[in-house]
Chains A and B, each alone.
Chain A
Amino acid sequence: MKKISYISLFLVVLIAASCRKLDVAPLNIIKDADIFSNENGVKAYLASIYGTLPIEDFIYQPNHGFMKNDGGRWQCFYHPGSLDGELVGPYGSTDEAATGFGFWPYDNIRTVNYLLQTLPKYASAFTPDQVHQWMGEAYFCRAYFYFALVKRYGGIPIVRTLQNYPQQSIKELQVPRDKEEDVYNFIGSDLDSAYMLLPETNLRGTASKYVAAAYKSRAMLYAGTIAKYGSGNLVTGDALTKGFVGIPAADAGKFFQAAYDAAKLVEGHYSLYEKNMANKEQNYADAFLDNSSPENIFVKDYSLTSGTAHSWDATLTCRYMTADGLSRCYPTLDLVERFGGPLPVVNNDGTPRRFTDRADLLQGLEPRLLATVYFPGATLRGLNFDIQRGIFKTFTGSAAQELSNNNNTPNEAGGNLLMADKPTVLYNGRNIMGFAGVSTGGDDYTRTGFYVRKYVDYKKAQSACGLYQSTQSYIDMRYAEVLLNRAEAAMELGGATQADAIASINQLRDRAGATPATASLTVDSVRNERCKELAFEHQYWWDLRRWRIADQALDNTKFYGLLPYYVDTEGKYIFLKQVEPFQRSYNFQKKYYYEPIPGGELGKNPNLFPNNPGY
Chain B
Amino acid sequence: MKKLLMTNCYRLDGRMPVSVLLRRFTGLLGIFYLLLGGPLQAQQPAAIAGNPVKGRILNEKGEPLAGASVRYKKDKKGTTTDANGAFSLPAQRGDVLVISYVGYAENQYVVGENKTFEVSMKPLPGNGNLNDVIVIGYGTQKKVNVTGAVSVIKAEDLVVTKNENVVNMMTGKVPGLRVQQLSSEPGSFNTQYDIRGLGNPLIVIDGVPRGSGDLSRMDPSEIESVSVLKDASAAIYGVKAANGVILVVTKHGARNANGKFNVNYSINQSWQQFLNVPEGVNAYQFMELTNEKYRRDFGTNSTATSAPVYSDSLMALYKNGTLKSTDWVKAITRPSAPETQHNLNVTGGNDKVNYFFDLGYFTQGSLFRTNSINYNRWNFRSNVNVNVAKNIRAQVLVSGYTDKKNQPGGRSVWEIFKYAENLFPTDPVYANYNPEYLHTEPDNANPVALINSDLVGKSNYQNKNFQGQLGLEYDLPFVSGLTARVMYNYGLGIADNNTVRKAFNLYDYNATNDTYKATLVNSPSTVNRQYYTNTNTLMQLSLNYKRQFGGVHNVGALLLYEESHSTGDDFSSQRQFSLGIPYLFAGDDVNQVASMDGNGLYEYVTKSLVGRFTYDYKGKYLAEFTFRQDGSSRFSPTARWGFFPAVLAGWRISNEPFLQNLVSPKILSNLKVRASYGKTGDDAPVQYQWVSGYNYPGTGAILGGNYVNGLTSRGVTNDALTWLKSKAFNVGVDFDLFNGLLGGSVDYFTRTRDGLLATKGAQLPGTVGVALPQENLNGDQTQGIEILLTHRRTVHQVTYNISGNISVSRTQNRYHEETRAGSSYDSYKGALTDRYTNIWWDYVYGGQFGSYSQIYGYGVNTGGGNQSAVPGDYYYQDLNHDGVIDAKDQVPIATRDIPIVNFGLTLGANWQQFDLSVLLQGATDFHVQYAEQLNEPLMFGRSALTQFLDRWRPADPNANEFDPNTKWLPGNYPNTGSPVAVGTRAVQNATYMRIKSLEIGYTLPRKILNIAGFQNLRIYANSYNLATLTGLKNSDPEHPGVVGPNQDWNISQGGYLYPMNRTFSVGASVSF
Which residues of A come within 8 Å of B, CB atoms?
4, 7, 11, 14-15, 18-32, 35, 43-53, 68, 104, 106-111, 113-114, 157, 159, 163, 165, 170, 173-175, 203-206, 300-306, 308, 319-320, 323-326, 405-408, 412, 415, 417-426, 429-431, 435, 440-444, 462-464, 466, 581, 583, 598-601, 603-605
Contact = CB atoms under 8 A, between A and B. Distances in A.
A421 B766 contact: no
A403 to B, nearest CB: 14
Give the residue among B314, B688, B820 with the most A Cβ atoms within 10 A: B314
A141 B708 CA distance: 17
Interface of B: 290, 305-307, 309-311, 313-314, 317, 323, 389, 392, 424, 426-428, 440, 442-444, 472, 474, 486, 488, 503, 508-512, 519-524, 537, 539, 541, 563, 565, 591-593, 598, 601-607, 631-633, 637, 640, 688, 691-696, 698-705, 707-714, 716, 762-772, 819-820, 822, 941
Contact of A203 (B692, B696, B703): B703
A463 B711 contact: no
A464 to B, nearest CB: 7
Contacts of A599: 822
B820 A418 contact: no
A94 to B, nearest CB: 15
Given A29-B693, A45-B711, A206 B941 contact: no
A24 B694 contact: no
A47 B631 contact: no
B700 A421 contact: no
A440 B702 contact: no
B701 A204 contact: no
Contacts, number: 266
A254 B964 CA distance: 65
Contacts of A43: 703, 708
A459 to B, nearest CB: 16
B522 A466 contact: yes
A48 B701 CA distance: 7
16 contacts: A20-B565, A24-B603, A32-B693, A45-B710, A47-B700, A47-B701, A48-B712, A107-B771, A170-B765, A206-B704, A303-B707, A304-B591, A308-B702, A422-B426, A431-B511, A463-B520
Given A21-B605, A24-B633, A159 B306 contact: no
A175 to B, nearest CB: 6
Given A24-B633, A30-B711, A407-B305, A419 B691 contact: no
A441 B606 CA distance: 62
A440 B700 contact: no
Nearest to B704: A203
A21 to B, nearest CB: 7
Contacts of B633: 22-24
Contact of A48 (B541, B699, B714, B941): B699
A585 to B, nearest CB: 8
A605 B426 CA distance: 55
A609 to B, nearest CB: 13
A27 B695 CA distance: 10
Contacts of A308: 702, 707
B696 A44 contact: yes
A106 B715 CA distance: 13
Contacts of A302: 702
A48 B710 contact: yes
A42 B509 CA distance: 56
B699 A52 contact: yes
B709 to A, nearest CB: 6
A441 B309 contact: yes
A324 B443 contact: yes
Contacts of A174: 765
Contacts of B698: 48, 51
Given A408-B305, A430-B511, A603 B700 contact: no
Nearest to A156: B767
Given A20-B563, A22-B605, A29-B694, A426 B511 contact: yes
Given A29-B691, A48-B712, A412-B307, A466 B696 contact: no
Contact of B521 (A20, A109, A324): A324
Contacts of B424: 422
A159 B508 CA distance: 58
A254 B700 CA distance: 37
Contacts of B631: 22
A230 B919 CA distance: 75
Contacts of A19: 563
Contacts of A27: 601-603
Contact of A323 (B519, B694, B716): B519
A28 B601 contact: yes
B1003 to A, nearest CB: 46
A466 B523 contact: yes
Contact of B700 (A14, A24, A51, A165): A51
Contact of B764 (A165, A430, A431, A442): A165
A113 B767 CA distance: 12
Contact of A18 (B510, B539, B603): B539
Given A51-B701, A165-B772, A421 B426 contact: yes
Nearest to B432: A424
B711 A44 contact: yes
B719 to A, nearest CB: 13
B310 A22 contact: no
Nearest to B310: A421
B109 to A, nearest CB: 44
Given A204-B704, A466-B522, A24 B605 contact: yes
A464 B521 CA distance: 8
Given A19-B563, A407-B306, A415-B313, A106 B696 contact: no
Contact of A604 (B306, B389, B591, B763): B763
A35 B508 contact: no
Given A22-B607, A583-B306, 12 more contacts: A43-B703, A48-B711, A107-B766, A204-B703, A205-B703, A205-B704, A308-B707, A324-B522, A419-B311, A424-B427, A430-B512, A442-B941
A38 B1065 CA distance: 67
A49 B710 CA distance: 8
A15 B509 CA distance: 73
